[in-house]
Amino acid sequence: MIVTGCPPRVVTFWYRCVAMSETSPGSARSPRLPPVRVLHVGGTGLLSSACADAGIRAGHEVWLLNRGRTRNVPVPDGVHRLVADARSPAAVAAAVTGTTFDVVVQWIGFTPDQVRADLDLFAGVGQYVFVSSASVYRKPPAHYLVRESSTPLENPFWQYARDKIACELLLSEAHRRTGFPVTVVRPSLTYGPSQIPVCVGSWERPWTIVDRMRRGAEVIVPGDGTSLWTVTHADDLATGLVGLLGNPRAIGEAVHITSDEVLTWNDIYREVGRAAGVEPRLLHVPTDALVAADPELEGTLLGDKVHSTVFDNSRLRDLVPGFTATVPFTEGIRSTIAWFEADVTRRLVDREADALWDRIAEVYTTALARVVPPPIER
């Protein structure tokens, strides 16, 4: 897909990609796309590291631009490094001077102002991949099945999601007006080494939930735990994202990348417990009570995780034929728990969150005891 108005270098890049494909754009067979030089901006975490590793294995020349620090997950071998503050346009411009890239993947664009600077900074790239979020889809949903073509973007509960929507609209307008070669990727809840996916947990210290389970403390689950959810392993996200790099048909598209495995939150918590060798004590608490106890939960709960959400990945498979998520949660969560157990320094506990959950559990169980009638003696 070549859009008139693109810079000459962009047009040349996309003609090369199309020419090297084994199939026509409409073919069902998987095209052989050329290797590209790809820059991951702000890539220091679980997802970007998995994508960098998958890019290397796919034959791409992979670069990371960050402050030279990594969060828990090491940088894969063969990756080139640029050291700069990825949130400073001037620092990024200085770091990339003299180096050209076919593809740029922006991991830390959270507001329109941050993304707007990229329109000038990366105006000459062949493809700009913006990592958005599946939380941008309408909440509460009108239908459990989410499709890019029919599910509106609307989230009144979470500023993070509204900012991502604004970024997408800015990039979409730039694509329409100037041919800016954007591809939007929307991950949902993704996990792997260093991250345990639960509904109420500590993002910075994920081991906290396992610590509670092993101590026999009650683990809080919003609602009755039966809403449907999808968790995706970082390796599966990486397979889908790398399949979009240098893909002419992905320009101007927005696509989510998730597993097709559907679980309830009760299933997810119990599987985490099994991987940790325990049967968790689940305490089901109304979502509005949780938000009242901790207003910061409004976005991540009402704006995301408490709603039944299943993703239709048909559009991704159209762009990346043959894509399938291969890591079942039972397998992936066991490898995640093993990663934490391999090093005691990874098993940090969020004492503040732990204390809050204890207070919520105490208040709620006490309230239940007051309203639940005693058993009838016979």
Region for 36 from its dihedrals, namely left if φ exceeds 0, alpha if ψ lies in -120 to 50, beta otherwise: beta
Work out the end-to-end distance of the chain between its first and last CA atoms, rounded to an integer number of angstroms. Answer: 76
pLDDT attached to residue 27: 39
Is the pLDDT at 75 greater than 90, yes or no?
A: no
pLDDT attached to residue 68: 76
Question: For the whole model, what pTM was predicted?
Answer: 0.90
Render pLDDT for 321-341 as a digit per residue (tens, 0 to 9): 999 999 999 999 999 999 999
CATH topology of domain 8-192+231-257: Rossmann fold (3.40.50)
Render pLDDT for 212-246 as a digit per residue (tens, 0 to 9): 999 999 999 999 999 999 999 999 999 999 999 99
Distances (CA, A) of 329 to 202, 226, 342: 19, 17, 20
Residue 129 in tokens: 């991949």
pLDDT attached to residue 28: 39
- Mean pLDDT throughout 150-179? 98
Q: What is the 3-state secondary structure (H, E, C) of 195-216?
A: ECCCCCCCCCCCHHHHHHHHHC
Break the chain into its structural domains and give their ranges. 8-192+231-257, 207-229+264-308+330-368
Render pLDDT for 280-311 as a digit per residue (tens, 0 to 9): 999 999 999 999 999 999 999 999 999 999 99
